[in-house]
Amino acid sequence: MSEEVKEVSKADYSADSIQVLEGLEAVRKRPSMYIGDTGFKGLHHLVYEVVDNSIDEALAGHCNNIDVKINEDNSITVRDNGRGIPTDFHAKEKKSALEVVMTVLHAGGKFDKDSYKVSGGLHGVGVSCVNALSTDLKVTVWRNGKTFQQEYQIGKPLYDVKEIGTTDDRGTQVQFKPDASIFTTTEYSFDTLSSRLRELAFLNKGIRLTITDLRDLDDDGKAKCVSFFSEGGLREFVEYLDATREKLIESPMYMEGEKQGIPVEVAMLYNNSYSENIHSYVNNINTHEGGTHLAGFRRGLTRTLKTYAEKSGMLAKVKFEIAGDDFREGLTAVISVKVQEPQFEGQTKTKLGNNEVMGAVDQAVSEMLSNYLEENPKQARIIVDKVILAATARHAARKAREMVQRKNVLTGTGLPGKLSDCSETDPSMCELYLVEGDSAGGTAKQGRNRAFQAILPLRGKILNVEKAMMYKIFENEEIKNMFTAMGVSIGTEEDSKQLNIAKLRYHKIIIMTDADIDGSHITTLILTFFFRYMKELIEQGYIYIATPPLYLVKRGKAERYCWTEDDRLNAIKDLGGEKESTVNIQRYKGLGEMNAEQLWTTTMNPEFRTLRQVTIDSAAEADRIFSMLMGDEVPPRREFIEANAKYAKIDA
Ligand code: 0RA
C-alpha cells in the first residue's frame, strides 16, 4: 500500500517537474514576453522583479531594509529583512514552498492571499522568471531560527531545499547571474539601478534601500555605496525633482490616505518654469501613458483652482477662456495609487484603465487643494496669478502658431526650404539627420544616400526650451523647421503633448553634432526639446545620436578611424607604429573636418556607423536632470557635466 502511494506520488512529482520545466522553458524561449526585452532594460528588470518581492513584504509591514549588491562578476544579490519565504512542505506541489516560489511561474504570492500585494513589477512575472533567465541562482532564507538554502542552474534545482544552520536573523536573499546567452548585455549600470531604488524609496516611505557596487572600489578598497530612505515620501520626491527650479510656494501640498477604498498619495509644488511635470505611479510602476488616476488628478485640480479663482474675483480682468493646461504650467506633481487589480492599457501597457480610481484621486486632490488654498491665501494668489499669466501667454502662442501654419500652407509642400529630403516615402525606411551648422549640413548632404537619408541643418545653438515660454518656442525658426520636416503638427492647447505620430515622416531621427563640448551641448538642447515637446518620439525609440569618430590614425596608405582612446592605441599598434612618430594622428574636433566621403563611411553608412538610441530609464530622473542642465543654477550643472561628459575629459 505504502509502496503504491509512493509510486503515485513519484509519478505526480515528475509530472509536476515536467510542468515546471515547460514553464521555465517557455520563459527562456520567449524572454521578451515576460521581461519586455533582452537588452539593457530587460537585464535591469530582473533586479526590479526581485526587489519588488521585498517591497511587497515591506508594504505588508514586515520588512524595512533592502540591500542590493552588484557583485564583481555582474551578478546581483538582493537581501531583505522580512519574514523569509516560507520553507515548509507544500502539500499540493509535494516540495518545499520555497522551491515552488522559485520554480513555478506566478507562484509568488499564493501562500498569503490576505496580504496586501500590489507591487510586483510591470510584467509581474515573479522571481521564477529571474531564475529561468539566470545561469546560476542561490536563495537563502533566515526563518524560525534556521537558515535554508537552495541553488539552481537555468531554473533547475541542484538539490532539495536544505537547512544549513541556525540563526537569529530573518529575511530572504536572492543571488543571481543573468544568462549571457539570453541577454545582449550583462553589464549592470549603477546609475540606472540607483535611480530606481531612489524612486522606490520616495514611493514607499520608511523603507531603506541600499545599493553597493563591488566592481567599483576606492583607494581604500571600499565599494561604492548609496543608501536611500525617505521619511516624507512624495513630499520629498517633488522637492527633489524641483531642487534646481525656483519655487513659487515654499512647501509642497501633500495628502496621503484612502479614498473610496483606494490608497492615494499626492504631492505638488509650483515653480516659475513653463513646463508641466506630473509623474504618476500605480503600484510603484511609472504610468508613462497616464490613465484614470491622472485624469482624476487633472479634473480635481482644474475644478478646485477654477472655483477658487472665480470666487476670489481675480479672473474679472481676464478676457479669454482659461484652459486646463494653464493650471498646470510650472506644476511639479507626483501621484501614487495602489490598486488591487490594475488594468493596464495603451501601447506600452503603462496606462491605468480602472475607472473607479478617477473619482478617488479627484476627491483626494480637491480636498487637499481646497484646504491649502483656504489656509494659505498668500500662496493661493501667487498660484492664480501664475495661471493667468500662463493663459495670457498661451493666447499669444496660439496667434503665433496660426501664423506659422498659414505660412506653411502657402509654400506648397509645407516642407522647410533648408531640408534636403530623401526620395523614399515609407517612413519606416527613412532617416532624418539633424546636423549642427550649415557647413556640416552641406557635407552631410553630399555624403548621404539620398534614397533614404534626409538632412536638416540647424543653425548654431537652438533655443533653450527649458527657459522659453511656449509661444517663443513656436516662433523659433529651427524648431518650426524640425516640426514641419518631421511632419508632426504643433498641436493645440489641450493636446500640445499629444503628437500625431502616425504622420511622422522618418522613423530614425538622428542628431549629428561635433564631438566636442559645444556639440554635446547642442545635442542636449535638442534632446531637451524632444523630451519636453515630443517625448513620445523618444519612448517609441525614434531618436538616435550619431557617433562621429574622434581620430584618424594613418601610416602610409593605411588608415584607421577611432572612436575611443583604446581604439586609438590599438590602431597605432595594429599599424605597427608604436613609435608614434611614424604614424599621423588626426584629431577630429568637428564634423567640418571630414569630407563627404569620410562622413559617410564613418558616421552615416548603416553598415559601419554606430547609432546610440536615446531611451528614458526614469521619466522623473530625466525631468530633474534636464531642468538642472538647462536651468540657471551653475554648480549642480558643473558637477553633473564633470561626472558624465566624456568630451570634457578628452578636451581638457
Ligand atoms: C509569502 C508569505 C510569507 C513571506 C513571503 C511571501 C515573502 C516573500 C518574499 C520574497 C522576497 N522576500 C520575501 N519575504 C517574504 C510569510 C508568511 C508567514 O510567515 O506567515
Residue 474 is predicted with a pLDDT of 75
Per-residue confidence at 529, pLDDT binned at 50, 70, 90?
A: confident
**pLDDT > 70 in the chain, percent:** 87
Cell readout for 590 is: 568637428
Q: Grid coordinates 530573518 are at which residue?
A: 170
d(CA 382, CA 565) in angstroms, rounded, equals 53
Per-residue confidence at 4, pLDDT binned at 50, 70, 90?
A: very low
User: Is the minimum distance from the CB of 112 to ligand 1 under 6 angstroms?
Assistant: yes
Residue 606 is predicted with a pLDDT of 95
d(CA 480, CA 416) in angstroms, rounded, equals 9
Residue 206 is predicted with a pLDDT of 97
Cell readout for 497 is: 503633448
* Domain 25-228: homologous superfamily in CATH: Histidine kinase-like ATPase, C-terminal domain (3.30.565.10)
* Closest CA to ligand 1's atom 5: 85
Asked if the model's pLDDT at residue 405 lies above 70, the reply is no
Give me the sign of the Cα torsion angle 540, 189, 121, 134.
positive
**Least confident stretch, 63-72, 402-411, 485-494, 524-533:** 402-411
Angle (nearest 5°) at CA 523 between 519 and 528: 145
158-188 tens-digit pLDDT: 999 999 999 999 999 999 999 999 999 999 9
d(CA 541, CA 555) in angstroms, rounded, equals 40
Centre of ligand 1 to C-alpha 59, Å, is: 11
Phi/psi of residue 307, each to 5°?
Answer: -60, -45
Strand 431-436 relative to strand 453-458, pairing? parallel
Q: Is 518 a catalytic residue?
A: yes
Cell readout for 462 is: 537652438
Asked if the model's pLDDT at residue 279 lies above 50, the reply is yes
Residue to substitute in 54, 85, 129 for testing ligand 1 pocket (most ligand atoms within 8 angstroms of CB):
85
d(CA 364, CA 358) in angstroms, rounded, equals 10
Asked if the model's pLDDT at residue 306 lies above 90, the reply is yes
Strand 285-286 relative to strand 331-337, pairing? unpaired
Q: Which of 301, 468, 331, 311 is nearest to 381 (CA)?
A: 311
Phi/psi of residue 335, each to 5°?
Answer: -120, 130
The strand ranges marked E within 290-355 are 331-337, 344-345, 351-352
Cell readout for 403 is: 501664423
For residues 589 and 511, which has the higher predicted lDDT (pLDDT)?
A: 511
Residue 432 is predicted with a pLDDT of 98
Asked if the model's pLDDT at residue 11 lies above 70, the reply is no
Centre of ligand 1 to C-alpha 85, Å, is: 4
User: Is the minimum distance from the CB of 60 to ligand 1 under 6 angstroms?
Assistant: no
User: Is the minimum distance from the CB of 170 to ligand 1 under 6 angstroms?
Assistant: no
**Where are the chain's structural domains?**
25-228, 234-393, 411-544+611-632
**How far apart are the two ends of the chain, measured CA to CA in Å?**
83
Q: How big is the chain, counted in residues? A: 652
Asked if the model's pLDDT at residue 583 lies above 60, the reply is yes
Hey, how many other C-beta atoms are within 10 angstroms of the C-beta on 5?
Answer: 9
Class of domain 411-544+611-632: alpha beta
Per-residue confidence at 491, pLDDT binned at 50, 70, 90?
A: low
Asked if the model's pLDDT at residue 579 lies above 50, the reply is yes
User: Is the minimum distance from the CB of 79 to ligand 1 under 6 angstroms?
Assistant: no
Q: Is 514 a catalytic residue?
A: yes
Q: Is 12 a catalytic residue?
A: no
Asked if the model's pLDDT at residue 264 lies above 60, the reply is yes
Asked if the model's pLDDT at residue 249 lies above 70, the reply is yes
Residue to substitute in 47, 49, 50, 57 for testing ligand 1 pocket (most ligand atoms within 8 angstroms of CB):
57
d(CA 2, CA 471) in angstroms, rounded, equals 84
Q: What is the DSSP letter of 317?
A: G
Per-residue confidence at 96, pLDDT binned at 50, 70, 90?
A: very high
Q: Are 542 and 509 in contact (CB under 8 A)?
A: yes
Residue 548 is predicted with a pLDDT of 92
Q: Which of 213, 265, 436, 475 is catalytic?
A: 436
Q: Grid coordinates 546560476 are at which residue?
A: 136
For residues 638 and 236, which has the higher predicted lDDT (pLDDT)?
A: 236
Cell readout for 333 is: 506633481
Q: Averaged over 588-614, what is the pLDDT?
A: 91
> Helix, strand, or coil here: 210?
strand
Q: Which of 518, 559, 593, 617 is catalytic?
A: 518
Average pLDDT, the chain: 87
d(CA 577, CA 614) in angstroms, rounded, equals 37
Asked if the model's pLDDT at residue 189 lies above 60, the reply is yes
The strand ranges marked E within 100-202 are 134-143, 146-153, 156-157, 162-166, 171-178
Per-residue confidence at 619, pLDDT binned at 50, 70, 90?
A: confident
Given phi > 0 = left and psi -120 to 50 = alpha, else beta, which region is 105? Answer: beta
Per-residue confidence at 371, pLDDT binned at 50, 70, 90?
A: very high
Residue type, 312: S
Asked if the model's pLDDT at residue 315 lies above 70, the reply is yes
Q: Which of 492, 506, 350 is nearest to 421 (CA)?
A: 506
Q: Averaged over 421-429, what is the pLDDT?
A: 95
> Helix, strand, or coil here: 619?
helix
**Least confident stretch, 111-125, 229-243, 567-581:** 111-125
The second-level CATH assignment, the architecture, of 234-393 is 2-Layer Sandwich (3.30)
d(CA 415, CA 422) in angstroms, rounded, equals 12
Q: Which of 256, 516, 559, 593 is catalytic?
A: 516
Asked if the model's pLDDT at residue 120 lies above 80, the reply is no
Residue 6 is predicted with a pLDDT of 32
Burial 200-227 (b: 16+ CB within 10 A, else e): bbbbbbebbbbbbbbeeeeeeeeeeeee
Q: Averaged over 314-327, what is the pLDDT?
A: 90
